[in-house]
A and B are shown apart, each in its own frame.
Chain A
Amino acid sequence: MSDMETPEYRGRGGEGRGPGGERGERKDKEKGGGKGGFFRRRKTCKLCSEKVDYVDYKNTKLLLAFIPERAKILPRRMFGTCAPCQRKVRTAILRARQMALIPYSTE
């Protein structure tokens, strides 16, 4: 995936960095290569950090935090939830929608 970018990135003065550390560091610093080029903070999974073990579809307060105005489920990149958590949230939202606890869409 990053095969295309790596040489160019290394050329920008990242000597002696391991292949693993490179990606992490890059996220903290500004994005190189002229793509994006703005500061981007690394998002962390809200559910993991708050230690929510079971995402309940009845807990609308929690689910509404993941639903913007249009009531659509947003992709993972918007919230930074980890894959297992996003899956849990998704199923919970679908269930809550079916039981009319959460709207499918707003006008």
Chain B
Amino acid sequence: MSQRQYEILFIAEQNLGEPEVDTLTSTVKGFIEKENGTVEKVEKWGKKRLAYPIGKNREGSYVLMIANAPGSSISEVERRMRVTDGILRFLAIRIDAEMKKADRKKTIRGKKESTRRASVREKDRAYEGGAQ
């Protein structure tokens, strides 16, 4: 099965302390691993003020995960996250396609730049050659 890269960001409720957020993170990790996925990176943003209150929460702990998982499994992960207590909100998006596009753009631009530079260099050389 082809693996796809996903970015999962979730907000934990404000009354949860750091250890509880850690356990929540590991449970989410468990969901992904159960579905033949692997977690590449976990990034904890810590407690942040929400832009608007969600329920009674004015703050929330953000946790970002980058995971490789088969495409069919993400719906199950989402379902499990939905029923997990303590998760205020989450967002799982696929990023591999976008990243590939961005990389391609970057390489194209790099090539253009290098050819431009090369042509400029050549012109410079020609100019110098003419001057000598």
* Residue A90, interface by CB 8 Å: no
Beyond A54-B102, A100-B11, A100-B52, list 15 extra A-B contacts (CB 8 Å): A51-B109, A53-B103, A53-B105, A54-B98, A95-B91, A95-B93, A98-B89, A99-B62, A99-B89, A99-B91, A100-B50, A100-B51, A100-B60, A102-B51, A103-B51
Interface size for chain A: under 10, 10 to 19, 20 to 34, or 35 or more residues?
Answer: 10 to 19
- From B54, B64, B98, A100 is in contact (CB under 8 Å) with B54
Instruction: Name B1-45 residues within 8 Å CB distance of A.
Output: 9, 11
User: What mask results when residues 53 to 97 of chain B are scored 1 for a CB within 8 Å of chain A, else 0?
Assistant: 010000010101000000000000000000000000101010000
User: What mask results when residues 85 to 107 of chain A are scored 1 for a CB within 8 Å of chain B, else 0?
Assistant: 00000000001011111111000
A4 CB to closest chain B CB, in angstroms? 39
* Residue B118, interface by CB 8 Å: no
User: What mask results when residues 9 to 38 of chain A are scored 1 for a CB within 8 Å of chain B, else 0?
Assistant: 000000000000000000000000000000
* Residue B125, interface by CB 8 Å: no
**Interface positions of B (Cβ within 8 A of A):** 9, 11, 50-52, 54, 60, 62, 64, 89, 91, 93, 98-99, 101-103, 105-106, 109
Query: Across the interface, which residues of A come within 8 angstroms of B64, CB to CB?
Result: 58
Query: Across the interface, which residues of B come within 8 angstroms of A99, CB to CB?
Result: 9, 11, 62, 89, 91
Say what secondary structure dominates the interface of chain A: loop
B52 CB to closest chain A CB, in angstroms? 5
Complexed CA–CA distance, A58 and B7 (Å): 11
Instruction: Name A63-104 residues within 8 Å CB distance of B.
Output: 95, 97-104
Indicate if the CB atoms of A100 and B9 lie closer than 8 Å: no
